Amino acid sequence: MTHFSGIPRGNPAASSDTIRRQILLLNYLEKKGRESKQLSFLAHIEMDDVKRKALFVCLGNSCRSPIAEGVFQKTVNKMAQGHLWEIDSAGIADWNVGYPPTNRAQNTMKRHDVPYNNVGRHITLEDFNNFDFIFGMDESNMKDLREMAPEGSKAKIFLLGEFDPEGETIIRDPYFDNHARGFEKCYEQVVRSSKGFLEWLAQRDDM
């Protein structure tokens, strides 16, 4: 069976080319100020049915990683690729297990129409084999993740901000801020980094 482009299903180049075209189209329509519903026509484009799994991790799973989880989900949904991703977030520490993100994190997501209804959880050793990609928010997260990762585990561990085209590699931790600006900064960084990662992934034929 072939794609509409005539490239056989399962060909990595076909998948990457399709993602690349979708990202370019998404950026074009956003620049034109179109509503996200206008992207729904992308749903007819055939893609491989193998799900990719991404886990976003910060210290407490109360601010940065929930925002990253929600933003990434919204981004792939707008690309009509939500069904091809399994997305979650977790904390290095366990103090927010079972609780929703902080009110300020939730308010930030609501302001930007980012749906979210998850609760905090603690990262587990199994996550390193259940997920394809694990993203830390800062160097401390990365150190902890690398130390925790079982030898030979499959997850690729990245600093999320490495994919920020503006070069801000450390995602702002707004937990101790007494204003909303830090949360807005965190949100903006995560939006750029999510798109940057997807653009990078579209160039790869080995993931």
Beta-carbon contacts of 113 under 8 Å, excluding residues fewer than 6 positions away, are: 74
Give the helix ranges, DSSP H, for 5-158: 12-31, 64-78, 103-111, 127-130, 139-148
Angle, alpha carbons 179-181-187 (nearest 5°): 130
Q: Does the annotation count 177 as an active-site position?
A: no
- DSSP 3-state assignment of 165? coil
Q: Is 58 among the catalytic positions?
A: yes
Q: What is the Cα Rg of the chain in Å?
A: 17
Set 63, 64, 127, 172: catalytic member: 64
Structure tokens at 38: 């206008």
Q: Is 37 in contact with 28 (CB distance < 8 Å)?
A: no
Annotated catalytic residue within 127, 173, 186, 192: 173
Residues 145, 56: Cα–Cα separation, whole Å: 11
Centre a 10 Å sphere on the Cβ of residue 2 and count the other Cβ atoms it contains.
11
Give the whole-angstrom CA distance, residue 159 versus residue 207: 17
172 catalytic? Reply is no
Identified catalytic residue from 58, 88, 127, 138 = 58
User: For residue 55, what is the enclosing H or E element?
Assistant: strand 52-58
Name the residues annotated as catalytic: 58, 64, 173
